[in-house]
Amino acid sequence: MALSRRRNLSEDRFATGMKTRRAVLGDAHVDRVSAGKTGFDDGFQRYITENVWGSLWTGDVLSKRERSIVTIALMAALGHEEELAMHIRATVNTGASQEDVREALMHVAIYAGIPAGNTAIRIAKQAFAEIEQAADKGET
């Protein structure tokens, strides 16, 4: 494939990825990450924007809600607490409900262990409280 064709595909995937990333995580989060980007992580940010958000999250087999539930369960099972909280906060944009999250975390507790489930439940409660506080302030 010619270099210019690959570059155009990459630019298309980046633009699609940025749009999807903003739709799922919100403008404030993406703007904060973009503002903190340096030469050190620029390539990494481009990579995840193109591949995670521009390819995986734009697929047509699973809905955003379903992808959100799967991602939350994976982040909880793997102990990625910051990413877990971020994806729980993103449920306001993906359509995953508190019930969806609770059920996913019950699966985590059974299949990945009670400590992982316990930690994830604590993080989810905190994230949902933050969502509620932001809604009360009219920030969502």
Tens digit of each residue's pLDDT (9 = 90 or more) over 85-124: 999 999 999 999 999 999 999 999 999 999 999 999 999 9
- pLDDT tens for 16-43 read 999 999 999 999 999 999 999 999 999 9
Q: What is the C-alpha to C-alpha distance for residues 98 and 102, in angstroms, rounded to an integer?
A: 6
| Residue 9 in this model has a pLDDT that exceeds 80 | no
- pLDDT tens for 52-67 read 999 999 999 999 999 9
Answer left, alpha or beta for residue 95, where phi above 0 means left and psi between -120 and 50 means alpha.
left
User: Which residue's structure tokens are 């920030």?
Assistant: 139
Q: Pull the structure tokens for residue 6.
A: 């690959």
Q: Pull the structure tokens for residue 41.
A: 């992580």
| Residue 1 in this model has a pLDDT that exceeds 70 | no
pLDDT at 6: 67
pLDDT at 10: 79
Quick one: which of 16, 26, 27, 28 has its CA closest to 90? 26
pLDDT at 138: 85
pLDDT category at 79 given cuts 50, 70, 90 is very high
Q: Pull the structure tokens for residue 120.
A: 């994830």
User: Which residue's structure tokens are 């991602």?
Assistant: 71
User: Which residue's structure tokens are 């944009």?
Assistant: 93
